[in-house]
Amino acid sequence: MKIKNIISVLEEMAPLAYAEDFDNVGLLVGDSETECSGVLVCHDALENVIEEAIAKNCSLVVCFHPILFSGIKKITGKNYVERAILKAIKNDIAIFAVHTALDNHSQGVNKIFCDALGLTNTKILVPKNNFIQKLVTYTVPDNADKLRNALFEAGAGKIGNYDNCSFNTKGFFTFQGNEDSNPVIGEKGKLHTGEEIKIEVVFEKHLQSRILKALFSNHIYEEVAYEIYNLENSHQNIGLGMIGEFENEMDEKEFLHFVKDKMIADGIRHSAFLSKKIKKVAVLGGSGSFAIKNAIQAGADAFLTADLKYHQFYEAENKLLLADIGHFESERYTKNYIVDYLRKKILNFAIILSEENTNPVKYL
């Protein structure tokens, strides 16, 4: 099996188009055409993880955090990033990162976080903007079903928990072809009028080329009339963070001890207790201070995230309990999810969970 075949499965799990613009996801090191001997899944592709991949005969390392994040001008082995990259290249090991592509997925990092805590009725905390487009096209009634179904098959027409969604309007068309035209309906040089269906569907913008291919392949017109619009609507099923509820509320200390146990956290920093019960909880794996206001607006009793600075604890504004459980801890079960996903999709192949603990933060 080639590395590119495994990448196809990884992109089904976490489409790279879901990643944030600042991020560096996908194949970072290696050749996708290379045969893969095995996959090692880790949190961070550090030098000791590459050594583990060598020992376990894995030629692809799938990591959550990208080892290459910002620009790099030299690879001389003078820091931990360069040493990991050098060792990977010398040993023909490819590195693939998922990071915010999985952060933004409705079944990704924050759903994993919620599931670990037993939260239900979950929904995205910070929906992704500027990600939805709308196609408007026109065809004759006899072609409408075939065209509409082809667009659905290509990924159009999905809204929340519904698919095959479209809006259709009856009208009439006029055209007159010139001498170079070859109309399917009517005759060139003559004005033609007939019944037409206007079809409107939404789609995720990274699917545009696939949608247009389906449009042109299944439309009967010589010249296909269509329009594409960028929508300002937020995507309710793609975005950062998540909010959910406990079946039974608990007091604040009980809640933090519960979180500490479930997420195996060595320490939790938190804002002042408010003497209120905790039932509705927002989470955001990794650095999530930017979403404090979102958690408050969503009516959360508590917000769990990581990497909070001193002054950011004030932003709780006595409206919720704000807790920093640790960056690694908030994403702890992500690599387990990736392993389980790959094992279900790729049978009889070595998919190995890294045994290395790459958390750089230690506690007394």
Q: Which residues of 117-153 are buried (b: 16+ CB within 10 A; e: fewer)?
A: bebeebebbbbbeebbbbbebbbbeebbeebbebbbe
Q: Assess contact for 118 and 167: CB atoms under 8 A.
A: no
C-alpha 235/C-alpha 268 separation (Å) is 32
Structure tokens belonging to residue 344: 């279900």
Question: Could you tell me which residues are beta bridge partners of residue 204?
Answer: 132
Q: What is the distance in angstroms between the CA of the first residue and the CA of the last residue of the chain?
A: 45
* Residues whose CB falls within 8 Å of the CB of residue 149, separated by 6 or more in sequence, listed in order: none
307 in a labelled binding site? no
Read off the amino acid at residue 50: I
Cα-based distances in Å from 219 to 149, 215, 262: 11, 6, 54
327 in a labelled binding site? yes
Determine how many CB atoms are found less than 10 A away from the CB of residue 272: 12
Cα-based distances in Å from 16 to 13, 97, 100, 148: 9, 10, 8, 27
- The contacts found for 179-185 with CB under 8 angstroms, 24 or more apart, are 181/222, 182/222, 183/222, 184/220, 184/221, 184/222, 185/140
266 in a labelled binding site? no
Read off the amino acid at residue 87: K
Read off the amino acid at residue 18: Y
270 in a labelled binding site? no
Structure tokens belonging to residue 186: 């009517």
- The contacts found for 213-218 with CB under 8 angstroms, 24 or more apart, are 213/154, 214/150, 214/151, 214/153, 214/154, 214/156, 215/135, 215/137, 215/147, 215/150, 215/151, 217/150, 218/143, 218/146, 218/147, 218/150, 218/151
Binding residues for a divalent metal cation: 65, 103, 327, 331
Q: Which residues are annotated as a binding site?
A: 65, 103, 327, 331
